[in-house]
Every structure is written in structure tokens, then in C-alpha cells.
Chains A and B, each alone.
Chain A
Amino acid sequence: MFDAAPGGWLYHLNPLTKLSVSLAFILLAFLLPSPLVSLGLFCLAILPLSLWGGITLPMLNACLRLVAPAAGVLLVVQGLFYPGGQTAALRAGPLVFWQEGLAYAGLISVRLLIMVSAFSILLATTPPAKLAMALQQAGLPATFAYVLAAALQLLPEARQRALVILKAQRARGLRVSGSLLARARAVLPLVVPMISSTLVMAEERAVALELRAFRSGVKPTTYYEIEDAGVERTVRWLCGLLVLAAGIYRLWL
């Protein structure tokens, strides 16, 4: 349906399937108390999936940038200050790292890893507009679907434009130092075009939408139909059942 597909076959899946699988992984990681389960999920499910789609590197990159620093902080803080600490794992002078604290930090870190890696696969292989379209096809009102897609697509675009303005102002000799007043005065020419262009953009786009019958009261049709193979529906059901089973296990066993 779309050209330039990152993520190979993963790209062509129904976004709802990818969303369900990602959510199932995350819920499983949170419902099952052993970090080994989460680690197993990562190594046996998420990693192979990313390899299959050819997006392992960006996925690992996201994990490294988001999970690694958090894990470092967690290990130090929980290791030192875990309230129920009883077994010393490591002594460094007056500092004691508690085993229970380290284990707890490990568990949280692994869950974070699942969250970030699962979502990075979803986002790397799914254009926001396609996700919104799939949600609309599944029954989300068209207005919500539009707002979701437009927000996800326009915000990065608007940021890009703001950076262009910043560059232009710098080139014209914008200085960002000196007294508070001087700095405020310097930043003003930067902020004004940014705000005003955002406002105009909102108004012009509102008119453009109006001209194209947005929210005309008719039930909208869609140009593309997002494919939804029977296998994908089965996978989504399986995800639901797995999460349900994990929930029951967590509550009663």
C-alpha cells in the first residue's frame, strides 16, 4: 500500500496487530513477577522480530538511549536505599549495596526494556497516519483519528520549521547572552514568528479542512482499506488470551 517501507514485512502488517502484540508483551512483563520472563520475552520474541524486520539496530539504539541511563540510576538508588535490604551484595567503604534492591532495580529495568523495545518496533514500522486509519477502521470516530494522525505528523514538522526560523535569526546576528532584559529582547524576534506562524497555520489549516468538508455530518468513507488477514485477527485474539491467562495467574496463583 505504501512505498519506502522500513521494517520489511512488519511494515505491511495491520497496525492494530502490531499495537496488540506490543501491548501484550508489556502487560505480560508487568503481570509476571519474574525478570526472567521479561528477559525471555526480549530475547525469544522481540529480538527475533526486530531481526526479521531488519530494524534491530534502531531498536537497540532506542533502548540504549532510554533504558540504559534509567537502569543505571535505578541500580544505584535501589541498591543503596532499598527499604527491605537485608543481604549485602557488595560493600564499598561505608556504602552497602543490598541484593534485594539490586534485584528490584533489575526487574524494573527489564520491564522498561520491554516497553521501549516493543514500542520502538511499532513506531519504526508504522506511519502514524496508518495507525490512525486502522483505528478508524476499527471504529474510532473519524475526527479523533484525524486529530491523532495530524498531531503525530504535524508536530515534528512544525518543530522542523521552528528550527529553520532559529537558524535564520541566528544568521541575522541573534545573540543569546547578556543581561536578562537583553536576552529577552534578543529572543523576542525568535518567538514572535514562531508563535504567529503556528497561529496562522492553525487558522489556515482550519479553513482548508472546512473547504474539504471535514466534519460535514456525513459518515466518512476511507480511500484505502487497511488489510486485515485472518491470521492477524487470530494473533490479536491470542494476545488477549495470553494477557488474560497471565492476569488470572497473577491474581489467583
Chain B
Amino acid sequence: MAIIEIENLTYTYPVENFPALHGVNLRVEEGEWVVVSGENEAGKSTLCCIIAGLIPSVYRGKLEGTVRLCSLDVCQASRKDLIHRVGMVMQNPFHQISGGRFTVAEEVAFGLENLGVPRPEMHWRVNDMLAQVGIAHLARCSPFSLSGGQQQLVALAAALVMHPEVLVLDEPTSQLDPQASQKVLAVVQDLQKQGLTVVLVEHRLEWAAEFASRLVILEKGTICADGLPAQVFAGLAGRASGVHFPAVTLLGFQARREGLWPAGRPLPVTIEQAVRGFRR
């Protein structure tokens, strides 16, 4: 049973003439880690909003085709049912702070408060999540006093504390330094190993390809490639797709052209794969 089922989706924002997504088909199984990439304006954020259940209830517009999240049809399900199941972290850490709370702990609890979760349950869930994300020591700080990386961890904790089945991350590390980015992704990786389904939009495939079980490339609102990272890279070779290939993969291409890498062997995506490939 797929956890995300998108069939023949075409979506147009209100007052826009052209669809932001069209003819999109995507099935994601439980526990997968899907990385989505593509050039600017390709529709990546729109796809995130679809998977986060924000369309059509929050962003209106015209939706054709079917979208089912955790077996719920987004056109029929209530916001409350969807909020429990899918969480999302966006690009800008500061803009995700609610602004109405004084401490990090309360900020993380905000979603639970709004769902009317009783106080004792809220306390253990928040404390658990702060510890899991590694910001327990910041519980009593003001969210405004934190660095961008720490704020993004707060946003992550705030999404995860709702215990979602699917986590959508829309370029969550594009405004962070490499160290902070590593931290955010390490937390996500941990949870994915415990069964969380992850959809991550990322430009820097360099490291996204390392943990992705699947790579989806969007181009002008349609999916132009979908599969194992190595397959996708092989398929895109020589095309202008706006995708930044990892350096090891480029090395693989070159090696193949020079006869150092057999044509039948999948292209390397990580450094280990390259090393193993060259050893053989």
C-alpha cells in the first residue's frame, strides 16, 4: 500500500493561467526517502504543498486527478486529519517560528496546543522531541535568540512532535551552513530508519544522493526522471535538466568515456561507490 499516491495530477494556482504541475504520477511506499530536484520554478515547492495536504484546502486553485495521502483523498479529508499525518519543514527558519510563544519548548508545543492535547502528554512529547533533535538545552531560550540552524531544528521538532507518517522538507538546509545542514539531515535520517517516509527537495545532490532511495526530477511542472539516483543520472546525461550532478558522478561519466568504467556498471553516486568501482 503506497503512502503517497498521486495520479494524473494537474494543478493550477488561483489567477494563474498555466498549471504549476501537470500530468504528475507519483507513488511513494512507506519508509522511502525520495529526493526531489530540478531547476528553479519547476514546481518542487508546489509538489511539497500537494504532499503536505495544503492543496486544495489552504492554497485553492484548480486540482485535477487524484491525490491520496495515507489513504485519505486530499479533496475530501479534513485539515485536522491531514495535519496528524504529514509534516512539513520549509526553507526559511525564521518564517516558521509562530511568533506567539516565548520559549522553544512552547514553540514546539504550539501545534499540540492547537489540537487540544492535554498538558501532561504535551510535556513528554515535547521533551522527547527536543532530546531527539538535540536541542533539549535550548528548551527555555527564546526562539528569536537562536541561530538559523537552531531555528531550523526547532521547526523540525515542531513538525515531528505531531508524529507524522510523512515528512516533507522543502530545501530545509539552503540557508544553513554545512554543519547545521548535517545536523538537520542526521535527525531526519534517524527517523527515516525508524520508518518515517521522507520527501526532501534539495539542489545539492552531492550529499542528498547518499541517502536517497529514490530521485525524482521535475522539469516545468512534470516529472522527467524518477528512479534510483544512479539510473536517473545516467538517463539525464548530456541533457540540460538544471540538475547539479554530484562530482563523483561526473567523474564516473568521464571515466566511462575514457574506458576506465565499464558501460554496464551503474554510475557512482557516492565516494564509496566510486572507490569500490575503481578497485574492481
Contacts and interface: CB of A to CB of B under 8 A. Distances in A.
A154 B99 contact: yes
Given A3-B141, A210-B58, A149 B80 contact: no
A107 B263 CA distance: 93
Contacts of B103: 2
A140 interface: no
Interface string A139-180: 000100111011001100100000000000000000000000
A219 to B, nearest CB: 6
Contacts of A217: 80
A204 interface: yes
B78 to A, nearest CB: 9
B83 A211 contact: yes
B205 interface: no
A210 B90 contact: no
A137 to B, nearest CB: 12
A212 B105 contact: no
A204 B97 CA distance: 10
Given A2-B103, A153-B99, A200-B95, A215 B114 contact: yes
Contact of A207 (B90, B102, B111, B158): B90
Contacts, number: 121
Interface stretch (A89-97, A124-132, A229-237, A239-247): A124-132
A212 B80 CA distance: 10
A208 interface: yes
Interface residues of B, number: 45
Contacts of A150: 98-100
Contacts of B142: 127
B58 A212 contact: no
B106 interface: yes
A227 B178 CA distance: 42
B113 interface: yes
Interface residues of A, number: 40
Contacts of B96: 204-205, 208
B141 A224 contact: no
Contacts of A82: none
A208 B90 CA distance: 8
Nearest to B118: A221
A196 interface: no
A184 interface: no
Chain B CB within 10 Å, residue with most, of A147, A205, A208, A221: A208
Interface in A169-220: 200-201, 204-205, 207-220
A223 interface: yes
Contact of B98 (A128, A212, A219): A212
A48 B54 CA distance: 54
Contact of B54 (A129, A210, A215, A218): A210
B102 to A, nearest CB: 4
B115 interface: yes
B123 to A, nearest CB: 7
B52 interface: yes
Contacts of B140: 2-3
A207 B54 contact: yes
Contact of A146 (B100, B105, B122, B126): B100
A213 B111 contact: yes
B159 interface: yes
A218 B95 contact: no
B62 interface: no
Contact of A223 (B87, B105, B116): B105
A212 B119 contact: no
B189 to A, nearest CB: 22
B154 to A, nearest CB: 11
Nearest to A130: B102
A223 B109 contact: yes
Chain B CB within 10 Å, residue with most, of A149, A222, A223: A223
Nearest to A208: B96
A146 B97 CA distance: 12
Contacts of A204: 90, 92, 95-96
Nearest to A131: B102
A214 B117 CA distance: 13
B119 A221 contact: yes
Interface string B169-188: 00000000000000000000
A216 B90 contact: no
Given A2-B140, A217-B80, 4 more contacts: A142-B114, A153-B102, A212-B111, A212-B158
11 contacts: A2-B102, A2-B103, A153-B100, A157-B94, A205-B99, A208-B90, A211-B159, A213-B115, A218-B114, A221-B119, A223-B123
Interface of A: 2-3, 127-130, 132-133, 142, 145-147, 149-150, 153-154, 157, 200-201, 204-205, 207-225
4 shortest interchain CB distances as A-B pairs: A212-B111, A129-B102, A150-B99, A204-B95
